[in-house]
Structure 1
Amino acid sequence: MRHDQVNQDLEASPSVAASGAESASRAGARPLNTADYRALDAAHHLHPFSDMAALNRVGSRIIVKAEGVYLWDSDGNRIIDGMAGLWCVNAGYGRRELADAAYRQLLQLPYYNTFFKTTHPPVIALSALLSELTPAPFNHFFYCSSGSEGNDTALRIVYRYWATQGKPSKKYVISRKNSYHGSTIAGATLGGMSYMHEQMPSKVEHIVHIDQPYYFGEAPASLSPEAFGLERARQLEAKILELGPENVAAFIGEPFQGAGGVIFPPSSYWPEIERICRRYDVLLIADEVIGGFGRTGEWFAHRHFGFEPDLLTLAKGLTSGYVPMGAVALHDRIAAPIIENGEFNHGLTYSGHPVAAAVAVANLELLRDEGIVERVEHDTGPYFQASLRQAFDRHPIVGEVAGAGLVAAVQLAQEPRTRKRFANGSEVAAVCRDFCFNGNLIMRASGDRMLLSPPLVVTHAEIDEIVEKAKRAVDATAQQFGLA
């Protein structure tokens, strides 16, 4: 099957087999149907984080259209997107403002680099706007194309900073088990996903991990959440002392762990982490790739937890996923010595890409001017959290609902009251995910936790639909495992 036939049929939506007929007949070709797409996909496409042999046996679901919080597949099914793509479509699908911004910029200046003493208006405008939206100490930004590249860049900034301070021995970066910081070699080394490390014989040196602050799954029954949060935070101090404070450059953490299961640490955790970093002169990096731009009801998730980082890594909600872009925000105390001490030998072809920057500006202005983040904080976020907690109160296989704003996890458990987890928790969650998928809800499974992170423009009625479908899937899962 020729690629130009695929291109002709991409105009068809929501049902390729039906509404694609006219465009295909104009070109004298049979319209592609779901089976055609699946065959081409299986023949040529390697999916991220997938068992391709297993996927190809059942076939991919072909998404052909999106609007608001909804997706349509090639069979005409309407699906509510409870994950905002991959945590990123904050402004919702189909925003003409973002498409128009991209189109205008493509016509005027589709690409130029920011090397060789050059710049361009979109990246200047974006930097100025970010300096207004981020907390006051953040006034300088380095651009890239993804969160993975952002975390790689953060490492380079950390090492360059300590060199300017005459402390080149500060090389160790401490992260957490079950954290996620991207899929490049450096990003995946920073992350604490053991299954990723198993396929990475080459890792970045001087990166070590401590335990995650996962109260439901790992706390002894004798510890309160607050005591457990302090215990896990103080592992950072122990590791710094083990390595020697003169050798430790930074600690990196997601304010809440996203791909690791939407794990919200106890309230005692982040203030203690910040205290330890300041005591031992260790930089604090907040990975805001998921949490940034309104997800918790704050513009940046570290504000929800009440701590002040030295660096922020940003992506996803920066452009609402419409085009790839990432960034690193530097606190003034980090930016100044890097600016004042010669060349910073790091850069990427697409650093500050003009089209991405123009879309980011339009997206951030939309989030700001329509009061979307404030609505998450005061209206839809509290409604979402209350609705989930009410729906799963005393559920036979739900141990907790965790989250804030428009991000949440539903913890599956064999005995919720005693925090006894399923021995085959990931299998149980996979079954639940499939019930969601077959019920036209995108809800992600991570270990034995079911995750939700809908677009920030979601309405009360759409939240009701998400919660109803999630409840139906969890009920079906409990019934399948004989625990209804």
Structure 2
Amino acid sequence: MSDINSLPLRDARAVVHGLTNLSLHAQRGASVIQSGKGVWVQDIHGRDYIEGMSGLWCIALGYGNERLANAAHKQMLELAYYPLTNHKSHQPVIALAERLLSMAPAPMSKIWFASTGSEAIDCAARLCWYYWNAVGQPEKKKFMSHLLAYHGNTIAAASLTGASYAHDKFNLPLPGFIHLTTPHFTKNGQAGETEEAFCDRLIANIEQRILAEGAHTIAAFFVEPVMAAGGIIVPPAAYYDKLQRLLKKYDILLVCDEVVTAFGRTGEMFGSTTMKLQPDLLVCAKALSSAYIPISALMISPQVYEPIARQSGELGMFGLTMTYSGHPVASAVALETLNIYEELNIVEHVRQVGPCLVNGLKQLESHPKVKEVRGIGLLAGVELTANHGRECAKLVEEEGLIVRAICDTIAFCPPLIISEAEIQELLARFTKALNRL
């Protein structure tokens, strides 16, 4: 059988590409990436790029990590697959669940595994419904989230997502999904309004909406500690404190979507710690395996899990399952990923190099094309003047740096292992593209 790299090259037009203009793609084709090492990738023409987005916010340990490849290989030979149904289990998933519970930023009881962040968010929504049915409040069916939030692309996760591109012509969002003002002070604050007053106004508006809908109908509020795909939005410090008090007042569950922010990205192991959140449910994915293999995890607090277990006993079965939930190979790779984070002291590394990225970008705020720079840890965004995002991202790629344009915000999310010297090179390439713009 031929090696894949020796096969005749095609231009990827046979593949449906997400977050892509499909009509334009039919004309221009794809940039085909061939290989990667560390924070660098190389295309089929031999050109090198700094991967400034960790692929899709996910390849935290960079490319070519032999330990993760070896962990997958070893587990494939020992036990390539086994389901978690009908009282069956396996050692890698047991060890991974215990490890995650020991790391959790809030008291958690159990872990539910899936393959993607979208799946885990979908399962979180289903568990919220299951929980409220178990405690005798079946009217609690509606969900709240923020405008511009990104929670995934299954039907429920896309309904939670507050972006029109996930809804248009897909018949979404479903009924019962409520989107509220994005907690972006510089964009949504009113003239003369302080951050504190801004937070108070948003919380008052949320409370009014809760009362209008009926608190007895609201199941949960889904939040991202930092809104990544919404344009790298870091909510004001007081916002989540006030929101959590409001949710407790009306007995509404808090679900934290840490698909992007978990495992060191914000300078803490979890973004919930950075933003002082105490979730009832927490979803993580992406960096859980450094994207070397698909896996996601849903952490469930004791107060939520106990009624779920009781109701399962009454029904005779917990009717949620997925073929690849807790896949042994994915679990083994995730365990090794967590070992590497610990050995590298990845949180401390992010604290050391993160300011180099964010402060380096902030030095560009005087540039005539820059409106605002936002960021925390190794997660940053440069908002440009109107209608320049896509053009800028193209110029940046020409300079050998891969970023993502989110409307007019250029997003940066480099692998967590990036060095200060590599950040300086990233900044130099971006600055050169910005000057060309």
Report how far residue 348 of structure 1 moved.
Answer: 0.6
Give the secondary-structure state (helix, strand or coil) at the position aligned to 1:276. helix
1:458 maps to 418
Counterpart in 2 of 1:240? 210
More moved, 379-388 vs 447-456: 379-388
Equivalent runs, 1:323-338 vs 2, <5 Å: 323-338=293-308
2:153 is matched with which residue: 177, 180, 183? 183
Match of 1:384 among 348, 357, 360: 357
Q: Within 2, Cα distance between the matches of 1:344 and 1:173? A: 22
Query: How far apart are residue 225 of structure 1 and its match?
Result: 2.6
Alpha-carbon shift at residue 117 of structure 1 (Å):
0.8
Q: Which stretch has the larger CA shift, 340-349 or 68-77?
A: 340-349
1:285 is aligned, of 232, 255, 267, to 255
Q: In the alignment, is the contact (CA less than 8 A) between 1:234 and 1:272 conserved in 2?
A: no
Partners of 1:189 and 1:157 in 2: CA distance: 16
Inter-partner Cα distance in structure 2 for 1:272 and 1:266 = 11
| Aligned positions of 1:222-301 closer than 5 A | 222-301=192-271
Which residue does the alignment assign to 2:10?
A: 37
Take 1:81 and 1:165, find their aligned partners in 2: how far apart are those partners? 47
The CA deviation string for residues 134-165 of structure 1, in whole angstroms up to 9 with x for no partner, is 12502310000101001100011101111121
Q: Residues of 1 paired with 2:324 and 2:290: CA distance?
A: 18
* Structure 2 partner of 1:87: 57
Q: CA deviation at 1:9?
A: 4.4
- Per-residue deviation, 1:269: 1.0
Residue equivalent to 2:277: 307
Q: 2:348 aligns with which of 360, 374, 392?
A: 374
Q: Secondary structure at 1:346's aligned position in 2?
A: coil
Counterpart amino acid of 2:372?
Answer: E
Secondary structure of 1:341's aligned partner? helix
How much has 1:201 moved relative to structure 2? 1.5
Structure 2: distance between partners of 1:351 and 1:451: 31
**What SS class does the counterpart of residue 122 from structure 2 fall into?**
helix
Task: Work out the CA distance in 1 between the residues paired with 2:286 and 2:94.
Answer: 20
Are the equivalent residues in 2 in contact too, given 1:229–1:267 (CA < 8 A)?
A: no
Pick aligned residue for 1:355 from 329, 351, 354: 329
Unaligned runs of 5+ in 1: 11-23, 25-30, 414-421, 478-484
Structure 2 SS opposite 1:268: helix
In the TM superposition, what is the alpha-carbon distance from 1:373 to its structure 2 partner? 1.7
Name the counterpart of 1:416: none
Task: Pick one of 359, 362, 370 that aligns with 1:398.
Answer: 370
Q: Look up the equivalent residue of 1:446 and give its one-letter code.
A: I
Q: For 1:53 and 1:243, locate their aligned partners in 2 and report how far apart those are by CA, in whole Å.
A: 41
**Aligned to 2:341, what secondary structure does the other structure show?**
helix
List alignment gaps of at least 5 residues for structure 2.
none
The structural deviation recorded for 1:49 is: 2.0
Map residues 48-63 of structure 1 onto 2, 5 A cutoff.
Answer: 48-63=18-33
Q: In structure 1, give the amino acid aligned to 2:19.
A: F
**How far is the alpha carbon of 1:100 from its aligned partner?**
0.5
Q: 2:79 aligns with which of 101, 109, 128?
A: 109
Separation (CA, whole Å) in 1 of partners of 2:263 and 2:205: 30
User: Which is worse superposed, 134-143 or 443-452?
Assistant: 134-143
Task: Report SS of the residue matched to 2:381.
Answer: strand
The Cα of 1:204 is off from its aligned counterpart by: 3.1
For residues 269-288 of structure 1, give each alpha carbon's deviation from its aligned partner in whole angstroms, at most 9, with x where no partner exists: 11111011011100001110
Question: Conserved in 2, the CA contact under 8 Å of 1:314 and 1:327?
Answer: yes
CA pair 408-202 structure 1, distance change in 2 beyond 3 A: closer
Who is 1:77 aligned against?
Answer: 47
Structure 2 match to 1:472: 432
Amino acid at match of 2:333: V
The CA distance in 1 between the partners of 2:70 and 2:276, in whole Å, is 37
Q: CA deviation at 1:52?
A: 2.3
Change in CA separation of 1:264 and 1:202 when aligned onto 2, cut-off 3 Å: closer
Distance in 2 (CA, whole Å) between partners of 1:232 and 1:411 is 23
Question: Does the alignment pair 1:436 with 2:396?
Answer: yes
Partner in structure 2 of residue 120 of structure 1 = 90
| Match in the other structure for 1:130 | 100
Structure 1 letter corresponding to 2:89: T
Correspondence 1:172 to 2:142: yes
8 Å CA contact 1:234–1:273 kept in 2: the answer is no
Shift of 1:316: 0.4
Equivalence for 1:409: 381
Q: Give me the TM-score of the superposition, normalised by structure 1.
A: 0.87
Structure 1 counterpart of 2:3, from 8, 14, 17: 8
Of 292, 300, 307, 1:322 maps to: 292
Give yes or no for contact 1:89–1:321 (8 Å, CA) kept in 2: yes
Cα offset for 1:341? 2.8
In the alignment, the residues of structure 2 paired with residue 340 and residue 9 of structure 1 have an alpha-carbon distance, to the nearest angstrom, of 51
Q: Displacement of 1:256 after TM fit? A: 1.3
Aligned length: 433
Counterpart CA distance in 2 for 1:357 and 1:302 is: 23
Task: State how far apart, in whole Å, the 1-side matches of 2:160 and 2:304 are.
Answer: 21
Q: State the structure with more CA Rg.
A: 1
Structure 1 residue 203: deviation in Å?
A: 4.3
Which runs of at least 4 in structure 1 moved beyond 4 Å after TM superposition? none
**Is the contact between residue 66 and residue 94 of structure 1 (CA under 8 Å) also seen in structure 2?**
yes
Question: What is the aligned-residue RMSD (CA, Å)?
Answer: 1.4
TM-score scaled by length of structure 2? 0.96
Cα displacement (A) at 1:233: 3.0
| AA of the residue aligned to 2:3 | Q
* 1:18 alignment partner in structure 2: none
SS at match of 1:308: coil
- Per the alignment, in what secondary structure is the counterpart of residue 35 of structure 2? strand
Amino acid at match of 1:114: L
